[in-house]
Amino acid sequence: MAGSMIKAASRATSRATSHKARAVQFAALAACASLALSACGSTKDAGAAGAGGEGKVGVILPLLTSPFWQSYNDYIPKMATEEEVEALKTVNSNSDPAQQITDIQNQLNQGVKGLVVAPLDSAAIAAGLDQAERKNVPVVAVDVAPEKGKVAMVVRANNVAYGQKACEFLGSKVKSGKVVQIMGDLASVNGRERSEAFRTCVKDKFPDLKVLEIPAKWESDAAASKLDTLLNSNPDLKGIYMQAGGVYLAPTLQTLKSKNMLKKVGDPKHIAIVSNDGIPQEFAAIRSGEIDATVSQPADTYAKYGMYYVKRAMNGETFKEGPTDHGSTIIKHPNGMLEDQLPAPLVTKANVDDKKLWGNNIK
């Protein structure tokens, strides 16, 4: 999206994100220092590695207010059993990056030999990764790639593709006019990649679309209030891209309904809506015609391959770039981290009943 005002806003958002990350890192390090059992020095602790691939594994969730993360949480015990991993009860960081660092420290103090963590903040998580490295405990990051630190593997789908798929789908439904992307937290690489990919794709492929943006930080209340305000001044909105159906679906539909703007597919006044997550609630909304599509983020294989890689890392295995035996590709980030990019298909009315989709196989 062009224009000096948009560029200025983008720079302001970038500065705010940077300040937030530094503030959270400071808080995280302070929390680490305050724990009596912590060892936040510069040397590694001897003998803490999970020799032989055995030992307890800590699993740290970012939040449990989203149906997506509730589903991931439900898959953890099943996938741990399948991979023969002794996983402790999951820990919920409750959307607090500083708390997540404390949660990592607490798990390390309990003697875990491996960690599976879904980072809340791509920069701030480095403090926790450093603690794990000092204790020689391998970490697998799920869903969000850290900006720095050491991980055995990042288990994630291609978030750039999420934004591109959403753009291409909306562009096929809306030829001109205003569309809005309800963004995630820009402190997360996921929020940044989805936002920039959508923005760039629209500019390159659909120049007759005007992109409006709502920074909602994965918060349902923020999404609802900001969408309400945006609709007051833009009643001619033609399309919506929700970057997280798990937290944005219900408030978005309710806001549209409250303004008598929730029209089903086929109605001339229907606002085209595409989402990300692939939860059962999104599938139901596709079937009913309330939304058009979603990109299915694989909660089941996030859980499965989180356990798969942490077990092997505890056993001393290392990994390399290239195709896997489970239909994905491992890539290397510029920072040197390896990422297994799991498939994330676009779901529409045409394939919403596919039994292979995890959203059709969980209660």
Query: Cα–Cα distance between 212 and 9 in angstroms, integer?
Result: 12
Residues 6+ apart with CB under 8 A from 90: 59, 60, 61, 73, 76
Q: Which pLDDT score is estimated for 318?
A: 96
Domain contains 45: no
Do 178 and 93 lie in one domain? The reply is no
> Does the residue 108 lie in any domain?
yes
In this structure, are 252 and 181 located in the same domain?
Answer: yes
Residues 105, 78 within the same domain: yes
Q: What is the pLDDT of residue 335?
A: 86
Same domain, 282 and 317: no
Rounded Cα distance, 10 and 21, in Å: 16
Q: Please check the confidence at residue 233 and state whether its pLDDT lies above 50.
A: yes
Indicate whether 291 and 302 sit together in one domain.
Answer: no
Q: Which of 251, 249, 246, 250 has the alpha carbon at shortest distance from 225?
A: 251
Those residues with Cβ within 8 angstroms of residue 18's Cβ, 6 or more apart along the chain or in another chain: none
- Is there a single domain that holds both residue 72 and residue 127? yes
Residue 53's pLDDT is what? Answer: 52
The count of structural domains within the chain is: 2
Is residue 115, in this structure, part of any structural domain at all? yes
Sheet of 293-296: strand order equals 209-215, 177-183, 239-242, 272-277, 293-296, 346-347
Evaluate if residue 194 carries a pLDDT over 70. yes
- pLDDT single digits (tens) 269-308: 999 999 999 999 999 999 999 999 999 999 999 999 999 9
- Asked if residue 331 is part of any domain, the answer here is yes
Judge if 65 and 88 occupy the same domain: yes
The residues, any chain, with a CB within 8 Å of residue 135's CB and separated by 6 or more, are 39, 44, 45, 48, 108
Judge if 325 and 265 occupy the same domain. no
Q: Distance of alpha carbon 126 from its chain centroid, rounded?
A: 17
**pLDDT, tens digit, 9 for 90 and up, residues 130-180:** 999 999 999 999 999 999 999 999 999 999 999 999 999 999 999 999 999
Quickly state the pLDDT bin for 47 (edges 50, 70, 90).
very low
The parent domain of residue 121 ranges over 23-33+53-156+298-341
- Residues 248 and 320 occupy one common structural domain: no
In a domain, 6, yes or no: no
Query: Could you read off the pLDDT of 94-119 as tens digits, one per residue?
Result: 999 999 999 999 999 999 999 999 99
Same-domain check for residues 204 and 323: no
- Pairing of β 209-215 and β 239-242: unpaired
Examine residue 361 and state whether it is found in any structural domain, yes or no.
no
Q: Is the residue at 14 inside a domain?
A: no
142 domain-assigned: yes
- Tell me, what CATH number does 90's domain have? 3.40.50.2300
My answer on whether 133 and 240 are in the same domain is: no
Q: Are residues 269 and 308 in the same domain?
A: no
- In this predicted structure, the answer to whether residue 127 has a pLDDT above a threshold of 50 is yes
Confidence band for 196, pLDDT divided at 50, 70 and 90 = very high
